[in-house]
A = this chain, B = another copy of it.
Amino acid sequence: MLRGADLRVTRPRLAVLTAVHDHPHADTDSLIGVVREDLGEVSHQAVYDVLRALTTAGLLRRIQPSGSVARYESRVGDNHHHVVCRSCGVIADVDCAVGHVPCLTASGDHGFVIDEAEVTYWGLCPDCSTTSTS
């Protein structure tokens, strides 16, 4: 379980974990809705707290493309990346060709100690690209 991360097992946490797993790249508000369908009334604060706790513990990953609210996913540890549609905002996973972290090394890194290279691809999803092209 998630007990391995020194976290207490509570209904909201299980529900949030399930919700993120079933709805990758969902924002907090959507997740609150999903959790409430599962548990009934749950405070938004609880969901925010749980998302932060799980993210800090490394069980979830928080992503936030420019202009978007925070989104969460349960795929962690595989160093994958994301492609974001400029038109509708939909997000899809893209496997990292390198596989390990960081998958890129910066040239001229100004002395920074880099531990992760986050890649966001921007473009148009299949639906939006065909719509605007036709």
Contacts and interface: CB of A to CB of B under 8 A. Distances in A.
Contacts of A66: 62-64, 70
Contact of A119 (B92, B109, B118): B118
B120 A106 contact: no
A44 to B, nearest CB: 19
A110 interface: yes
A54 to B, nearest CB: 16
A30 interface: no
Q: How large is the interface on A (under 10, 10 to 19, 20 to 34, 35 or more residues)?
A: 35 or more
A27 to B, nearest CB: 13
A59 to B, nearest CB: 17
Contacts of A114: 83, 121-123
A110 B124 CA distance: 10
Interface stretch (A14-22, A35-43, A94-102): A94-102
A97 B64 CA distance: 25
Nearest to A123: B114
Interface of A: 62-64, 66-67, 70, 81, 83, 85, 92, 94-95, 97, 102, 104, 106-126, 129
